[in-house]
Amino acid sequence: MKTIIKTKKAQLRQSRPGFFTIIQSFLLSHWHYFTATMSQLSKTPVSTFMTSAALGIALALPAGLYEMMLSVQKVGNEFDNIHKISLFLKPDVSQEQAQKLQIKLKSSASISAVEYKDQKQALEEFKEFSGFGDAINALNDNPLPQVLIVEPSLMYLEPSNLEQLLVTLKQNPEVKTAQLDVQWLKKLFSLISLAKTGVLVISSLLGLAVLLIIGNTIRLDIENRRQEILVTKLIGGTNSFIRRPFLYLGIWYGLLGGILAIVLVDISFLIIKQPLSTLAELYQSDLLTLNSTEISHNIELLTISILLGLLGALIAVNQQLKKIEPT
Amino acid sequence: MIKFENVYKRYPGSKEALANVNLHLDKGEMAFLTGHSGAGKSTLLKLITLIERTTAGKLTVGGNQLDKVKSYSIPYIRRNIGIIFQDYQLLLDRTVFDNVALPLTISGFSKHEIRKRVSAALDKVGLLQFEKYLPVQLSGGEQQRVGIARAVVNKPAILLADEPTGSLDPELSKEIMSLFEQFNQVGVTVLIASHDLALINEMNKRIIRLEHGKVIS
Ligand SMILES: Nc1ncnc2c1ncn2[C@@H]1O[C@H](COP(=O)(O)OP(=O)(O)OP(=O)(O)O)[C@@H](O)[C@H]1O
Ligand SMILES: [Mg+2]
């Protein structure tokens, strides 16, 4: 059995000797160009570094903004399901009356929970949130009213139902104002979506810049190797053969630029981290943090930067190769 | 092997460089192309290598009708033709070995095969010991022999040379010509453009004379 298979394989190899050689030399030549372009780049470390650094900066900006946007969005998501209504009570309402109202509201079908905060609690909270602690300590009277925080039942979370509930709640004589917390959330979300569009615009522009930088670098390299390209064309080199080393050059620039961008983003985040955590503490949010970028995001960034490198090289090569013809 | 039938070539904005050329070179033939400066020798060779395209007429080389060839097949046609230039056209940052290996690399030969064939070609032109040198480390005659090795390493059926001895002294020129003769003896069709009438007459081969773009004999 074994010998039969062996002879079959041997026959196959003999009947198509060219096939393996071609595949093998195809793969080998790609590997060859990958390493050859690397050593070409390492021969001119300064210009390689400068190009890569320009690419790294151009890539780091949108990558960093994107990462920041994600963490802001996370904070937003935390509040996504909280559509609470704050009832600020009239100053002459006693604590007893307030608690009575709390119990009354709790029994309503449209309300799932009611939290009571007396004036002191409200003040404490305000101090923490606003950061004006010392200024408030200086006040003699507590200017804040008692607050009932109403959490609507799940089925009342539709915006129209919420508005209805708000009106009903306002009709209680003890209530001075009723405020739907969702309003500032709406503002936050529209801000986030504005920021998203901004990041998209900046990313597109800087992506274009990356294409231009790589395209121009490759164009200069092609110009420098004009003679080599001419000779290669004269002895029967196909365009794809001539293109190959330049495409690998683009891939390398994309890779180096991407790596530098990751490093730059991580360094910037390290720098921002301290002030940011102070800010987060102030707002009592564990979510407002910037960690070094996730691996999966890094891989995405590298993929994008390599593709941009390849594309930039492709555009430059296709444009230039047409111009270089033997005469 | 090479057949011109009523071929015209006109460069844009100038008069005809070649007019009604009829010419036939058999397989395995060796011939010299001569004529005054501007007669059209280089132009004729450029048509064969598809560096320039014919304006009118029919040109057949090795079974391919060149006036019908699409530009994407040009590289594959050039691989069957070895070209030698007056200024050698070597890549100055590559070794002699790498220069000669270029046509094989282009065609995707294996490393092993490349080594074998390059060594054979360099041996043929007597430069085997120089394979690790850079072109600038060689004399003009040696550089031209590298050019010849590169042209023949692919075992092309046709060998073309435009003033291959133009910048060499008579002694070296003779050496180069006898190299061409050796390739011709193993069946390669050879066409050489040259001014050097004394040298050509010595070779005892067919001579094609061009004058103002016309073949006169
Ligand atoms: N690229 C070109 N554009 C326009 N005219 C050209 C071009 N190349 C050659 N010519 C013209 O075509 C004619 C033939 O030129 P060609 O180079 O073939 O001559 P030649 O016989 O090789 O001359 P030489 O012995 O000086 O090399 C000349 O009149 C030349 O001016
Ligand atoms: Mg000429």
| End-to-end CA gap in chain A | 62
Mean pLDDT for A158-185 is: 78
Which residues does chain B have within 8 Å of residue A22's beta carbon, measured at their own beta carbons? 108
* Tokens at A93, concatenated: 């309402």
The residue with greater pLDDT, B131 or A110, is B131
pLDDT at B98: 95
- A198 and A60 within one domain: yes
Radius of gyration of chain B (CA): 17
Mean pLDDT for A2-18 is: 41
The residue with greater pLDDT, A19 or B183, is B183
pLDDT category at A79 given cuts 50, 70, 90 is low
Q: Tell whether the model's pLDDT for residue A317 goes beyond 90.
A: yes
Mean pLDDT for A143-148 is: 83
Give the DSSP H or E segment for A230: helix A226-234
């002191």: which residue's tokens? A120
DSSP helix/strand/coil, B3: strand
Domain membership of residue A276 (yes or no) is: yes
Q: Tell whether the model's pLDDT for residue A292 goes beyond 70.
A: no
pLDDT category at A286 given cuts 50, 70, 90 is low
**How far does Cα A298 stand from its chain's mean position?**
10
* Tokens at B8, concatenated: 């015209």
- A200 and A159 within one domain: no
Mean pLDDT for A72-76 is: 69
The residue with greater pLDDT, A208 or A275, is A208
pLDDT category at A10 given cuts 50, 70, 90 is very low
d(CA B108, CA B127): 24
d(CA A103, CA B155): 101
* CB-closest option in A28, A234, A237 to B83: A234
Domain membership of residue A2 (yes or no) is: no
Instruction: List, for residues A215-234, the tens digit of each pLDDT value.
Output: 999 999 999 999 999 999 99
Q: Answer yes or no: do A327 and B103 touch at CB < 8 A.
A: no
Inter-CA distances, A127 with A137, A283, B61, Å: 9, 11, 93
* Beta carbon pairs, A and B, within 8 Å: 60
Q: What is the dihedral of CA A113, A117, A123, A124, to 10 degrees?
A: -70
Which residues does chain A have within 8 Å of residue B151's beta carbon, measured at their own beta carbons? 235
* Tokens at A207, concatenated: 């992506």
* Per-window interface: B 145-164 vs A, CB < 8 A: 150-151, 154
Mean pLDDT for A262-291 is: 75
Residues spanned by the domain of A125 = 85-179
Domain membership of residue A18 (yes or no) is: no
pLDDT category at A284 given cuts 50, 70, 90 is low
Which residues does chain B have within 8 Å of residue A225's beta carbon, measured at their own beta carbons? none
pLDDT at A290: 61
Q: Answer yes or no: do B51 and A234 touch at CB < 8 A.
A: yes
**How far does Cα A222 stand from its chain's mean position?**
35
Regarding beta strands B158-162 and B189-193, do their DSSP bridges make them parallel or antiparallel, or are they unpaired? parallel
How many Cβ atoms are within 10 Å of A92's Cβ, its own excluded?
8
Tell me the pLDDT of chain B (217 aa) as tens digits.
999 999 999 999 888 999 999 999 999 999 999 999 999 999 999 999 999 999 999 999 999 999 999 989 999 999 999 999 988 999 999 999 999 999 999 988 888 999 999 999 999 999 999 999 999 999 999 999 999 999 999 999 999 999 999 878 888 899 899 999 999 999 999 999 998 899 999 999 999 999 999 998 7
Mean pLDDT rounded to a whole number for chain A: 81
- Cβ of A326 below 6 Å from ligand 1: no
Which stretches within A16-138 are classed as H helix? 17-43, 45-78, 95-106, 119-130, 133-137
| Closest among B90, B23, B21, B82 to B49, alpha carbons compared | B82
- Cβ of B40 below 6 Å from ligand 1: yes
Stated pTM of the model? 0.74
- A214 and A318 within one domain: yes
For residue B163, the ligand 1 atom closest to its alpha carbon is: 27
Q: Which residue of A has its CA nearest to B74?
A: A236
Residue ending a domain, choose from A179, A198, A216: A179
| Closest among A113, A93, A91 to A102, alpha carbons compared | A113
- A278 and A194 within one domain: yes
**Touching check for B102 and chain A: CB below 8 Å?**
yes
- Cβ of B12 below 6 Å from ligand 1: no
Inter-CA distances, B28 with A142, B42, B189, Å: 112, 21, 4
Q: Which residues of A touch B (CB under 8 A)?
A: 21-22, 24-26, 28-29, 227-228, 230-239, 241, 325-327
- A300 and A209 within one domain: yes
Which residues does chain B have within 8 Å of residue A233's beta carbon, measured at their own beta carbons? 75
Q: Tell whether the model's pLDDT for residue A16 goes beyond 50.
A: no
Mean pLDDT for A43-51 is: 91
pLDDT at B99: 96
- Cβ of B36 below 6 Å from ligand 1: no
The residue with greater pLDDT, A66 or A216, is A216
Cα torsion angle, B84, B88, B94, B95, sign: positive
Q: Answer yes or no: do A29 and B79 touch at CB < 8 A.
A: no
Q: Which residue of A has its CA nearest to B82?
A: A235
Q: Tell whether the model's pLDDT for residue A69 goes beyond 90.
A: no
B4 forms beta bridges with: B23, B59
pLDDT at A75: 67
DSSP letter (8 states) at residue A146 = P
DSSP letter (8 states) at residue B18 = E
Domain membership of residue A49 (yes or no) is: yes
| Diameter over CA atoms, chain B | 50
- Number of domains making up chain A: 2
- Cβ of B103 below 6 Å from ligand 1: no
- A209 and A307 within one domain: yes
Inter-CA distances, B42 with B38, B56, B79, B116, B210, Å: 9, 18, 19, 33, 11
pLDDT category at A295 given cuts 50, 70, 90 is confident
Radius of gyration of chain A (CA): 33
Residue ending a domain, choose from A129, A158, A179: A179
Supply the CATH number for residue A134's domain.
3.30.70.3040
- A121 and A170 within one domain: yes
* Tokens at A258, concatenated: 């991407």
- A206 and A314 within one domain: yes
Residue nearest to atom 30 of ligand 1 (CA): B38
pLDDT at B132: 96
Residue ending a domain, choose from A159, A179, A199: A179
- A288 and A210 within one domain: yes
Lowest mean pLDDT among A110-119, A150-159, A202-211, A265-274: A150-159
Q: Tell whether the model's pLDDT for residue A108 goes beyond 80.
A: yes
The residue with greater pLDDT, B210 or A80, is B210
Domain membership of residue A21 (yes or no) is: no
Domain membership of residue A290 (yes or no) is: yes
| Diameter over CA atoms, chain A | 103
Inter-CA distances, A271 with A63, A302, A312, A320, Å: 16, 23, 32, 43
Mean pLDDT for A244-256 is: 94
Output the DSSP codes for A160-221: HHHHHHHHHHHTSTTEEEEEETHHHHHHHHHHHHHHHHHHHHHHHHHHHHHHHHHHHHHHHH
Domain membership of residue A23 (yes or no) is: no
Q: Answer yes or no: do B108 and A25 touch at CB < 8 A.
A: yes
* CB-closest option in B75, B83, B151 to A238: B75
pLDDT at A131: 60
- A117 and A53 within one domain: no
Q: Tell whether the model's pLDDT for residue A201 goes beyond 90.
A: yes
Domain membership of residue A225 (yes or no) is: yes
Tell me: ipTM over 0.85.
Answer: yes
- A290 and A202 within one domain: yes
Of the CA atoms within 13 Å of residue B78, those in its CB half-sphere come to 29
Question: Does residue A260 contact residue A52 with C-beta atoms inside 8 Å?
Answer: yes
Q: Tell whether the model's pLDDT for residue A212 goes beyond 90.
A: yes
pLDDT at B123: 95
**Touching check for B89 and chain A: CB below 8 Å?**
yes
- A199 and A107 within one domain: no
Minimal CA separation from A47 to chain B, in Å: 20
